[in-house]
Amino acid sequence: MRVLIVYAHPNKNSFNHAILEKMQQGLQAEGHEVQVKDLYAENFDPVLRASDLESLQLGNIPENIAKEQASLCWAEGLVFIYPLWWFGRPAILKGWFDKVLTNGFAFKFGEEGLTGLLKHRRALALITAGGTEDFFKKNKAEPLVYRPMTDGTLSFCGIEDVNHRIYYDIGGMSDRGRQDVLEEVATMGKDFNEK
Ligand code: FAD
């Protein structure tokens, strides 16, 4: 499969970066073709501006948005890697969706209601959190961590096979625990193989 990894962490020494490396290696080991979109490294501008909206309303896709949509169209599989920031995606990633998933490209509304237009065969979100799993479960907050991404974005746009994995308490975890996480991520390339 052609797999696009969209990565949103500013620090090259972060644990998220280690996850990125393992995921990329794991996918390549299974023979998948991988492109990485490192939003901070690319200095991606996440702000959807009035001029962008004006162009979109006239049916013109601004060049900066068309470029991102071309990357998305290239891929058959998608992986998103990011830390949980204020119960959501880092703003740079949220802004990427604001800009890229335009009406008529990623979804449309017609007489029969909403139609998702993305045809990707599989999508996966890998999310790290500072809080403990216990905290999220006790506060019934777990769905808040992933549903805006899985349901509110990827499934909404028509992708049927949407998956997520949350790694909690990254800072409090033992070194062994973090190695186990990275070993698990390294195996996830297999999940993109033909079923
Ligand atoms: P890092 O801080 O880079 O690393 C975590 C640990 O892993 C460190 O001990 C580091 O030494 C170690 N490590 C790094 N690389 C490796 C490696 N290769 N192998 C083994 N160990 C390694 N959390 C919540 O739960 N809910 C929130 O709403 C929330 N909001 C936040 C908002 C902001 C703005 C910020 C900055 C943080 C927030 N957090 C929140 C916490 C955040 O989710 C975690 O800090 C983040 O997920 C940790 O991932 P990281 O890649 O930044 O880890």
Query: Domain map of the chain by residue range?
Result: 2-192
9-22 pLDDT, tens digit per residue, is 999 999 999 999 99
Decide if domain 2-192 falls under CATH 3.40.50.360. Answer: yes
Confidence bin at 194 (pLDDT 50/70/90)? confident
The pLDDT, as a whole number, for residue 140 is 96
Indicate if ligand 1 lies below 6 Å from the C-beta of 87.
yes
- Verify whether ligand 1 is closer than 6 Å to residue 89 (CB atom): no
Structure tokens belonging to residue 166? 């949350």
Which percentage of the chain shows pLDDT scores above 70? 100
Rg (CA), the chain: 17
Report pLDDT for 102.
97
Tokens encoding 3: 């797999």
pLDDT tens sequence across 28-54: 999 999 999 999 999 999 999 999 999
Q: Stretch 132-151: mean pLDDT, rounded?
A: 97
Residue nearest to atom 41 of ligand 1 (CA): 130
Average pLDDT over residues 79-105: 98
CA distance 24 to 182: 12
Give the pLDDT score at 195.
76
The arrangement of strands across the sheet holding 2-7 comes to 33-38, 2-7, 77-83, 122-128, 162-167
Q: Residue 156: which pLDDT band, with cuts at 50, 70 and 90?
A: very high
Indicate which atom in ligand 1 lies nearest the CA of residue 19.
18
